[in-house]
C-alpha cells in the first residue's frame, strides 16, 4: 500500500530533524526510494516492511561498489539500530545521512561501530586481523600471508593504541583519525567514495 500523503509529511518532518544532513526534498526522495525498494523486497521474500539483509547488501554492492561480505554485513548492522534484521525507513534515512554526509565526528563513530565486531567498545587484535585479512588483496607469494597481516596489526596498534593496552578504544580510534584522517577506514572500506 502506498504511504498516505499525511503519513509521508509527518515522516518527512520528523526525519528532516533527525537526519540533519538532508533537506526536505532529499528526505522525501529517500522515503519514496525506500518504499520502492521495500516493495521489491516484499515481493521477493514476503518479509517485513523494510529492507532485509540481501536487499541492503545489493544496494551497497550495486550503488556504492562495496565488495567485502564482512564489511557489508557490518554496515547493515550499523544501520539496523534496533537489531531486528530489517532496515526501517527511519534507519534508512538516518543511516544514509551519516553514511553520505556525516561530519567527521559522526563518521568516526560509525566506522568504529563497523569495526568493533563483538560490540564490546574495543577493536581487538583479533578483530583487526579479521578485518584486514578480508579487505587486503590476496597476493600469491611464498610466505604465509597471515604473518604479513599480523605484522600490519602490530604496526596499526603502534600507531593508534595511545593508552598501550593492546586494543583500540573509541578514544584511541578517534584521536588517531583526528591526527590522520586517512585512518578513518583503516580496517576496510565502509564508506562510499567521493563519487
62 and 108 co-located in one domain: no
Domain count, the chain: 2
Residue ranges making up the domain that contains 62: 7-41+48-101
124 and 161 co-located in one domain: yes
Q: Which tens digit of pLDDT belongs to each residue from 74-122?
A: 999 999 999 999 999 999 999 999 999 999 999 999 999 999 999 999 9
Domain boundary among 101, 116, 141: 101
Q: Which tens digit of pLDDT belongs to each residue from 114-142?
A: 999 999 999 999 999 998 887 776 666 65
What CATH number does residue 92 fall under? Answer: 1.10.238.10
C-alpha cell recorded at residue 137: 588483496
User: Does 47 score more than 50 pLDDT?
Assistant: no
Amino acid at each position: 500500500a502506498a504511504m498516505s500523503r499525511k503519513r509521508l509529511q509527518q515522516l518527512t518532518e520528523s526525519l528532516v530533524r533527525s537526519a540533519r544532513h538532508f533537506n526536505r526534498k532529499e528526505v522525501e526522495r529517500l522515503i519514496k526510494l525506500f518504499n520502492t525498494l521495500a516493495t521489491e523486497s516484499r515481493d521477493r521474500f514476503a518479509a517485513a516492511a523494510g529492507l532485509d539483509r540481501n536487499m541492503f547488501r545489493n544496494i551497497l554492492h550495486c550503488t556504492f561498489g562495496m565488495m567485502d561480505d564482512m564489511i557489508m554485513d557490518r554496515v547493515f548492522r550499523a544501520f539496523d539500530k534496533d537489531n531486528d534484521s530489517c532496515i526501517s525507513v527511519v534507519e534508512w534515512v538516518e543511516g544514509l545521512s551519516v553514511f553520505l554526509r556525516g561530519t567527521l565526528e559522526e563518521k568516526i563513530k560509525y566506522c568504529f561501530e563497523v569495526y568493533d565486531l563483538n560490540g564490546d567498545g574495543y577493536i581487538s587484535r583479533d578483530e583487526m586481523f579479521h578485518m584486514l585479512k578480508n579487505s587486503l588483496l590476496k597476493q600469491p607469494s611464498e610466505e604465509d600471508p597471515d604473518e604479513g597481516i599480523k605484522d600490519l596489526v602490530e604496526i596499526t596498534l603502534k600507531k593508534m593504541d595511545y593508552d598501550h593496552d593492546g586494543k583500540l578504544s573509541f578514544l584511541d580510534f578517534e584521536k588517531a583519525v583526528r591526527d590522520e584522517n586517512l585512518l578513518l577506514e583503516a580496517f576496510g572500506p565502509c564508506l562510499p567514495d567521493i563519487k
